[in-house]
């Protein structure tokens, strides 16, 4: 079955097709992700192309600038951007209590469950959608900063994406979006230094989907895990203090981000015979199944996190300077949903034919037919 893939960690090896060193063992992934000798590869900005397709009248000029442009995710602005992203998460944390999230989960379960059948993917998407919109609205501060005249323009760019996405639903955002766009038309962007853009990358990643798709997929995987294990549902019902251990085990085995890439810096990585400039693929997923760190690694066992001798921390949120800024929020969202679910329902597979998400980088489902039986 889809989620039953077992990974056998092995020594680093070079994938000639991918032209990347594949790193799978926990200790290696943990060491390299935290190493100052690697950097995150640049990404190509395809946002412009997408925006242009949707709003040809508005974005064609921007699109022409941005098409094919590379963004440096580890540029000098990284730390500042990360702080801003953290600020956004902190606001969300303050406004989204566990109780509010749980109430939201209960409403959704009751609404969607009324039809008998639910799609786990849709439930997960709807569940995080509210908090996610709230989060984006918190970034309005940044948008105001743009309107009031900021010198850079890629902060503006990321804000455009955010505002664009939510403008249909929120009048306040829509009005702000128009003002941002007006400003941008007036003030074309003169950037492009050294062939790549240095932007508030974490803020941009945050807005483009790290906080959205990752939580959605991980929650869908969690629903699958729950539906597959009725006795575990009973245990969670009887003992809610088990929930956080359950969440941690879902993240260890079924975190949505299967791998992330790095590029070796000018010194290379001697210990691994990796040369400067070579690509490295860090498999968080396989590190989470390393038998040297997690005994019987392919067995789903929340007890690991209840034992006094806890296993090594999971790498599903990455590590080092790019460690996920939303990890606590993600855990909170997951726990609140489980709590609402097991209290009121039994979760069962509707048909055993879930459709996996067609992307090798993400572990998740496109379709997960489930049923909620009221208790
Ligand atoms: C279960 C859900 C989540 C998973 C599995 C996940 C996973 C990850 C991983 C693996 C990274 C590291 C990427 C790298 O090293 O290249 C990361 C970074 C990041 N995550 Fe998450 N994430 C989740 C939820 C969230 C949430 C809820 C937020 C925000 C509210 C968020 C915001 C970010 C940001 C901004 C970064 C970039 C940090 C940086 O580059 O400095 N993530 N996430």
Query: Does some domain include residue 3?
Result: no
Query: Residue 16: its pLDDT value, please?
Result: 84
9 within domain boundaries: no
The reply to whether ligand 1 has any atom less than 6 angstroms from the CB of 218 is yes
Q: Is 322 in the pocket of ligand 1 (CB under 6 A)?
A: yes
List Cβ neighbours of 289 (8 Å cut-off, separation of 6 or more). 6, 7, 8, 9, 253, 297, 298
| Residue 332 near ligand 1, beta carbon < 6 Å | no
Quote the pLDDT of residue 294.
94
Token reading at 122: 């849709």
Q: Is 245 in the pocket of ligand 1 (CB under 6 A)?
A: no
Q: Which domain holds residue 206?
A: 14-370
**Gap from CA of 335 to ligand 1 centroid (Å):** 18
What pLDDT is attached to residue 184?
A: 41
Consecutive 10-residue averages of pLDDT for the chain (375 residues): 60 85 96 94 54 50 47 72 76 81 94 90 84 51 46 41 47 52 43 43 51 84 96 96 97 96 92 92 95 93 90 95 91 95 94 82 92 93
CA of 59 to the centre of ligand 1 (A): 28
Quick one: pLDDT at residue 116? 83
Predicted local confidence at residue 354, as pLDDT: 87
- The answer to whether the CB of 217 falls within 8 A of the CB of 193 is no
> What pLDDT, on a 0 to 100 scale, did the predictor assign at position 155?
38
Number of domains in the chain: 1
CA nearest ligand 1 atom 20, residue: 324
Is residue 267, in this structure, part of any structural domain at all?
Answer: yes
Kindly give the number of the ligand 1 atom that is closest to the alpha carbon of 321. 41
Nearest CA to ligand 1 atom 16: 260
Residue 323 in any domain: the answer is yes
Question: In this structure, which residue's CA is closest to atom 29 in ligand 1?
Answer: 326
Provide the pLDDT for residue 195: 40
Dihedral angle sign, alpha carbons of residues 223, 227, 231, 234: positive
Closest ligand 1 atom to residue 315 Cα is 10
Please give the pLDDT value at position 210: 55
**Predicted TM-score (pTM) of this structure:** 0.84
User: Does 82 contact ligand 1 (Cβ within 6 A)?
Assistant: yes
C-beta 330 within 6 A of ligand 1:
yes
**156 occurs within a structural domain:** yes
User: According to the model, what pLDDT value does residue 303 have?
Assistant: 95
CA-334 nearest atom, ligand 1: 1
CA of 200 to the centre of ligand 1 (A): 15
Per-residue pLDDT at 212 = 67
Given this model, what pLDDT does residue 154 score? 39
Query: Is the Cβ–Cβ distance between 236 and 261 less than 8 Å?
Result: no
Residue 95 domain-assigned (yes or no): yes
5 lies in some domain: no
75 lines ligand 1 (CB under 6 A): no
Question: In the numeric block, which tokens belong to residue 107?
Answer: 């409403």
Is ligand 1 within 6 A of the CB of residue 30?
A: no
Instruction: List beta partners, residue 371.
Output: 117, 348
Burial 239-276 (b: 16+ CB within 10 A, else e): eeebbbbbbbbbbbbbbbbbbbbbbbeeebbeebebee
With a 6 A CB cut-off, is 259 part of the ligand 1 pocket?
no
Q: How many angstroms is it from 101 CA to the middle of ligand 1?
A: 20
The CATH number covering residue 103 comes to 1.10.630.10
Cα–Cα distance measured from residue 283 to residue 113, given in angstroms and rounded to the nearest whole number = 36
In this structure, is residue 2 part of a structural domain? no
């Amino acid at each position: 079955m889809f989620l039953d893939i077992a990974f056998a960690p092995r020594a680093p090896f070079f994938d000639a097709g991918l032209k990347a060193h594949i790193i799978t063992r926990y200790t290696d992934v943990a060491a390299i992700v935290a190493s100052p000798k690697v950097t995150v590869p640049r990404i190509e900005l395809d946002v412009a192309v997408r925006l242009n397709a949707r709003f040809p009248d508005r974005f064609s000029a921007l699109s022409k600038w941005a098409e094919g442009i590379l963004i440096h995710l580890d540029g000098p602005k990284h730390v500042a951007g990360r702080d801003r992203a953290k600020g956004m998460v902190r606001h969300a944390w303050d406004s989204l209590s566990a109780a509010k999230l749980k109430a939201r989960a209960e409403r959704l379960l009751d609404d969607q469950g009324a039809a008998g059948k639910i799609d786990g993917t849709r439930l997960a998407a709807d569940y995080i959608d509210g908090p996610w919109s709230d989060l984006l609205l918190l970034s309005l501060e940044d948008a105001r900063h743009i309107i009031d005249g900021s010198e850079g323009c890629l902060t503006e760019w990321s804000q455009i994406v955010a505002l664009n996405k939510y403008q249909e639903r929120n009048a306040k955002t829509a009005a702000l979006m128009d003002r941002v766009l007006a400003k941008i038309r007036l003030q074309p962007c003169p950037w492009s230094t050294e062939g790549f853009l240095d932007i508030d990358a974490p803020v941009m990643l945050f807005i483009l989907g790290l906080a959205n798709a990752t939580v959605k997929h991980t929650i869908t995987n969690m629903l699958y895990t729950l539906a597959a294990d009725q006795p575990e549902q009973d245990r969670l019902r009887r003992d809610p203090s088990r929930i956080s251990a359950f969440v941690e085990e879902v993240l260890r085995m079924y975190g949505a981000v299967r791998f992330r890439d790095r590029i070796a810096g000018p010194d290379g990585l001697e210990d691994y015979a990796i040369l400067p400039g070579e690509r490295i693929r860090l498999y968080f997923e396989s590190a989470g199944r390393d038998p040297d760190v997690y005994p019987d690694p392919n067995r789903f066992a929340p007890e690991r996190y209840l034992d006094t001798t806890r296993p090594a921390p999971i790498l599903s949120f990455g590590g080092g300077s790019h460690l996920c800024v939303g990890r606590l929020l993600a855990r909170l969202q997951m726990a609140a949903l489980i709590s609402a679910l097991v209290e009121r329902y039994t979760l069962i597979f509707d048909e055993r034919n879930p459709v996996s998400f067609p992307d090798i980088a993400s572990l998740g489902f496109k379709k997960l037919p489930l049923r909620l039986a009221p208790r």
